[in-house]
Amino acid sequence: MNLRARFLWMHVLVSLLIIGCGLVGSRVLNRVDQNLRVMYAEYTLAVTDLSYINGELVRYRTSVIRAVQTDTQGEFRRIVDSLAQKRSRIDTALERFIRVSNRASSEQNIDNRELEEVKAVQAKLEEYMASSERTIQIMEKVWQSGSEGRAVEWRDEAERNMAIESGMKFVSVTNELERLIEVVAEIAGRVRRDADNSLRVTITLFIGVSFVLAVGIWCLPRH
């Protein structure tokens, strides 16, 4: 009787240990899932940063257009002085996106499309900014010219540069931003799907094994 009791308590103890391991494993896996959700949220914030950059680019171009169209040097100077702050906000948002992307990429095996698109955005952004600065430099000559006729010629040249060269480069950089947003959104969705699938399979397997072991132990002969 005592031997049977010891066997019974042994079965109970082992069963409780297995169930406990299953519960602990589930909590660990849930913790992993939370970490993956954080990474997914970082990608969501990254897309927000890219959308913010797009908006700041529109505001930057609008300011350049206003600078070309203004009739007073004082207003022109005020608008030009504000461009540095707008450029700084664009650069800061892009740097923040790159930091978030690098942090997430270090934890996931992600393809190189995102890195390639980031480099493309940076290159197109530099081209657009250089073209816009060229427009401002031409407009500077409007106020430095000695005659009204020459000032009109410089303004016409600035308007052409802004509309054609700078305009094309603006469209180019915004298109690259759109492509980068699409790539980031695709990666974020894949991370979410992979996390859900892995978590579901692991939890099911863990609970199934624990249940089979517990049933097997209870079915062992007790004599």
What is the spatial distance between Cα 219 and Cα 105, in angstroms, rounded to a whole number? 48
Q: What is the band of 102 on the pLDDT scale with cuts at 50, 70, 90?
A: confident
Give me the domains of the chain, ranges plus CATH numbers. 45-201 (1.20.120)
Q: What is the band of 51 on the pLDDT scale with cuts at 50, 70, 90?
A: confident
Sort residue 185 into left (φ over 0), alpha (ψ -120 to 50) or beta. alpha
Residue 7 vs residues 2, 90, 206: alpha-carbon distances, Å: 9, 71, 26
Q: What global pTM score does this model have?
A: 0.72
Could you report the per-residue pLDDT of 106-155, keeping only the tens digit for each? 555 555 777 788 889 999 999 999 999 999 999 999 888 778 888 899 99
| 170 touches 128 (CB < 8 A) | yes
Q: What is the pLDDT of residue 131?
A: 95
Q: Is the pLDDT of residue 176 over 60?
A: yes
Q: Is the pLDDT of residue 194 over 60?
A: yes
Burial pattern 33-43, b for ≥16 Cβ within 10 A else e, equals: beebeebbebb
